[in-house]
Structure 1
Amino acid sequence: MKILEKMISNEKEWVFYAKNLLAGGVAGCCAKSTIAPLDRVKILLQARHKQYLNLGVWSSIHHVVDTEGFTALYKGNGAMMVRIFPYGAIQFTTYEWFKQKTKRKLLSGSLAGMCAVITTYPLDMVRARLAYQVKGQHLYRGIFHAAQSIWQQEGRLRALYRGVTPTLIGMIPYAGTAFYSYEVAKSFIITNGPVYLTRTSTTDSNVQMLTPLANLMAGAFAGAVAQTISYPLDVVRRMMQLGEMVPHYTRSSLEILTYVFKKYGMRGLYRGLTINYLRAVPTAAVSFTVYEYMKEVLDVQTRK
């Protein structure tokens, strides 16, 4: 009897995490597809591409469309989708696991983000390279060619993980703050918010949930807080990923951070922050909202 109970329990665990993987993957893809054009322009601005040095966010978008066509706004998005499904799946699922084991939301978010980064980082590297290319200056033909070239010409696996250190360092405050801020906002709205921002779960009448509007609000708040804290390390990460494609290439994240600060000041470390707000806030909003919706559709019971 005990063996049977254990088998049933293990099956329930497996089903719970399998559903979470699917919910997280779908949430990540929906979120990133929403802001793909802004994501590409952000990379061009962060790394100071010579064609975009004197352009702002909206003028950069117009320039991309005028010189490369509308579909160029989604350049590198194929690599992003290949990366973001497992990224979202791993991040949300490991967050649920760590939250159950540690009971600490801030720590659980940080650990979940780090797990997702380590697993999918090479695809983020490839996506950055593809997005940085402009018409007439293509080094890579696609995802596989970019990955193969980096592997063969720049140092194999180590090259594919260039910039992972500042990414992981930045992920600690980013993911931790994002998940924690969302949980706090969600709890506050359910407890103290107006009635029209909450509803009863369709799968459990004892569970109160946020409406889609409230979920978007809580997710947007979480994204804004997290991005403000971690943005300078995101700049360093992008410049390390692009390597010799940028003129001030160095191998050390500290050297890049020092270089940017000395040459451009604090303003340089936050160059592109406006576009990051425009992309990160809706990304977090859509991500958390779709994740909550998918959990309800798949009847995933939230664990404390």
Structure 2
Amino acid sequence: MSFPLLTVAAGNSVMFGVYSNALLYLSGTPLLDRHSSPPSYLHIFTAGGMSGIAQALFLAPVDLVKVRLQNQTHVHNPKAVQPRYRGPIHCAVCILREEGLRGLFRGGMALVLRDTPTLAVYFATYTALCRGLTTEGQEPGPAAVLVAGGLAGTASWALATPMDVVKARLQMDGVKRVEYRGIMDCFLISFRREGARVFLRGLTLNSLRAFPVNAVTFLTYENLLKLLC
């Protein structure tokens, strides 16, 4: 958990920073005026997609290390007494040594394909719910932000989960040596072996986690904008 915790702030900074600046560029509306002069959903959707690409590229190595560390509790080698990786730095060094720099970005394209549409829907859903829960022309209150943020997070993870399953399997490919030839090959092999339900694996847990996390995330974002802008 140490590696994701140390990098989650940077990842959120990239996501919200790119989204805010992209939305400002596309719509020309200052951030603090976006409730009184709302940008179009097309601009919000596009800016969200751009933030997804940026976040995925930034987090690809971090996410790979996290997945490898989380999955080493599964005993792939019954004779192994000690875990293969002693921590995040050791894990990253091992990946670099055994798989090269390219190995640190294993599953990166699947991460881009997961986060680009997901964050586009994420920000569009949040904005639509805020507008629906708020009197026209006014800023949403804390309750509206919490509800909109939580539901936006849940909706985005419902969309993201199938590609998240594929991404995790590609990232573990260097350990299990399944040798998928790419995203589509991983998708077809997983479907053939385990059926369509495999792509919903983890959806319940992701949804339960997403609501409180994203409710607090958006409430913090809105209040920091007021404080800093």
Distance of 1:148 and 1:208 partners within structure 2: 48
- Other-structure match for 1:47: none
- Other-structure match for 2:38: none
- Other-structure match for 2:117: 173
TM-score normalised per structure 1? 0.64
- RMSD, aligned α-carbons: 1.9
Match of 1:259 among 189, 194, 198: 189
Match of 1:208 among 139, 152, 160: 139
Alignment deviations for residues 91-138 of structure 1 (CA, whole Å, 9 cap, x no partner): 101101100111300010010121121122111111111122229551
Alignment deviations for residues 242-271 of structure 1 (CA, whole Å, 9 cap, x no partner): 224347452411111111111222111111
Query: 1:281 and 2:211 equivalent?
Result: yes
Equivalent pair of 1:236/1:253 in contact (CA under 8 Å): yes
Say which SS state the counterpart of residue 289 (structure 1) adopts: helix
Distance of 1:283 and 1:251 partners within structure 2: 35
Alignment deviations for residues 267-291 of structure 1 (CA, whole Å, 9 cap, x no partner): 1111121111112232222211221
Query: 1:120 and 2:59 equivalent?
Result: yes
Deviation at 1:140, TM superposition (A): 0.8
The aligned amino acid for 1:159 is G
Query: 1:240 and 2:170 equivalent?
Result: yes
- Other-structure match for 1:81: 5
Equivalent pair of 2:4/2:66 in contact (CA under 8 Å): yes
Equivalent pair of 2:107/2:170 in contact (CA under 8 Å): yes
Larger Rg belongs to: 1
Distance of 2:8 and 2:178 partners within structure 1: 29
Q: Where in structure 2 are the equivalents of 1:12-51 lying within 5 Å? A: none
Alignment deviations for residues 136-185 of structure 1 (CA, whole Å, 9 cap, x no partner): 5511111111111001101x221000101111111121000001110111
Structure with the larger RCO, 1 or 2 (CA within 8 Å, 6+ apart)? 1
Query: 1:291 and 2:221 equivalent?
Result: yes
- Other-structure match for 1:91: 15
Equivalent pair of 1:80/1:123 in contact (CA under 8 Å): yes
Distance of 2:225 and 2:21 partners within structure 1: 15
Query: 1:150 and 2:95 equivalent?
Result: yes
Equivalent pair of 1:95/1:112 in contact (CA under 8 Å): yes
Equivalent pair of 2:52/2:117 in contact (CA under 8 Å): no
Distance of 1:271 and 1:119 partners within structure 2: 25
Equivalent pair of 2:134/2:144 in contact (CA under 8 Å): no
Q: Where in structure 2 are the equivalents of 1:40-79 lying within 5 Å? A: 77-79=1-3
Equivalent pair of 2:44/2:123 in contact (CA under 8 Å): yes
Count of residue pairs the alignment pairs up: 208
Say which SS state the counterpart of residue 138 (structure 1) adopts: coil
Say which SS state the counterpart of residue 190 (structure 1) adopts: coil
Structure 2 residue ranges without an equivalent (≥5): 28-42, 75-80
Structure 1 residue ranges without an equivalent (≥5): 1-76, 193-205
The aligned amino acid for 1:151 is L
